[in-house]
Structure formats: structure tokens, C-alpha cells
Structure 1
Amino acid sequence: MDVFEAIAEPSRRELLDLLAERERPAGELVDHLPRLTQPAVSRHLRILREVGLVDVRPDGQRRIYTLRADRLIEIENWISQYRKYWPGHLDALEQHLAQTQNQTQKEPTE
């Protein structure tokens, strides 16, 4: 599995979001994902660890997980080739929203 396959799963992205805030023990990560069982969270963390997106260290009987942001560079490098297309699309969206707002303001209210 590569980084892209790993982040394709929404629960793994949620785990990365939590770890982007700060390092966390496994139990706290489980608490933040109540819809998942502890074994399911552990499997997701194992996958994230295997692709190098998180590190884990023991702290007594707890396992502390940390984001490895340097591994996100692979995603950044892939996305960067598409950035050149964004300004035109964002400009078009801005124009569309402005037109929609103008039309809404011109419509008579009843």
C-alpha cells in the first residue's frame, strides 16, 4: 500500500487530522472515533505506520502516535503539478458567485 491508498480511507484521514494537532496516545485516538472499535483504529494506525505517515513510541504501557509530516511531501509533489489549473477555476467560481449574488439582490421580494 502506498501513501495515496492509505489516505483514501476517511478514518485514516481523520486520524491524521487529530495527529496534526498534536501527538496522542492510542486510547485517545480511539475515543475520538467512537464509531470504530479499538481493533479497527489499531489496524488503521498500523497502516499509517507502515506507509510512514505516523511514528509510534512506547510510554509505559501506552503507545504515543506522532504525525510524520515529511511523508506528506509525496502528496504535495503530486498535487503541485495541478496547482496551475486552480487560479482560473477559482476566478470563474468568484465570478459565478458574484453574478448569483447580483441576481438575488435584483429579484423582487414578496
Structure 2
Amino acid sequence: MSQAADQASPDVFAAVADPTRRGIVELLALSDRTAGELAAAFPALSRPAVAKHISILQRAGLVETHSVGRQRVNRLKPMGLSDVITWTETLNRYWDSRLDTLKALAEEEARHAGHRTQDQD
């Protein structure tokens, strides 16, 4: 396992592994919302189920809740995603390197194939 993944909170990865919670994160990235507003975006889920998802996101450090008058408003804590971002950037660098190597090999093979074709003429 990479150093970035070792240092990351497993709660963050578990939290974003669920598609509903990823949807909640995406909605909160657009604007702060109440639990009711979030529940309205997921009609197949009960409001208590959405509240449970919000609670998991809070424990993972991805969402904070504050009061605005009588309402409890949820806000994304983007820094909570830093472990996930670091981990995916590490993987991106790995795949970029692998793809660069593959490209160089393909270009070298194409050059050799071109020389073979010219030699046969």
C-alpha cells in the first residue's frame, strides 16, 4: 500500500465508496444544503437514511453541520478529501509513467516497422 493510503483515514475511503454519499458530496460541492434538501435529491431513500449517510460523512471529516436560524445546514469540508486526492494523484502519476513507456515502445516499434518496410522495397 502507498504511503498516502497508509496515512489516510480509512473512514474517508469507506465514506466515498458509497454512491449515495458520493452524490451527497457532489451536491454539497455545489452549495450548502439541509438534510431535507439532500433527502429530496434521493427520493428512493428515507430522510433517516440520508441523515445516516450525512453522519458517516461527518465522522469521516467530509461534512460539517452548522445552524442557520432553526435549520441545520450541511457544508462540504473539501480538505477532508485531501487524502483521497493525494492517493489518486499518486495513482495518476503511476499510470502516466506507464502510458509514457507504452507510447515510447509503440513509437520505437513503428520506427522499426518503417525501416523493415523500406528495406524490403
Shared fold, TM over 0.5: yes
Runs of 4+ in 1 over 4 A off after TM superposition: none
- The runs of 5 or more residues in structure 2 that have no matched partner are 1-9, 104-121
Pick aligned residue for 2:79 from 61, 67, 70: 70
User: 3-state SS of the aligned residue for 1:2?
Assistant: helix
The secondary structure found in structure 2 opposite 1:64 is strand
Structure (1/2) with the larger helix percentage: 2
Deviations 1:43-67 (A, max 9, x none): 0000000111000011233210000
**2:73 is aligned with 1:60:** no
* Deviation string, structure 1 residues 10-45 (Cα, Å, up to 9, x no partner): 100000000000111111101011010000000000
Moved more, 39-48 or 71-80: 71-80
1:26–1:62 Cα contact (<8 Å) kept: no
* Structure index of larger Rg: 2
- Give the match for residue 44 of structure 1: 53
Aligned-pair identity in percent equals 37
Q: Confirm whether residue 9 of structure 1 aligns to residue 18 of structure 2.
A: yes
SS at match of 1:52: coil
The runs of 5 or more residues in structure 1 that have no matched partner are 93-110
**TM-score of the two chains, using structure 1 as the length reference:** 0.75
TM-score (structure 2 length as normaliser): 0.69
1:29 aligned onto 2:38: yes
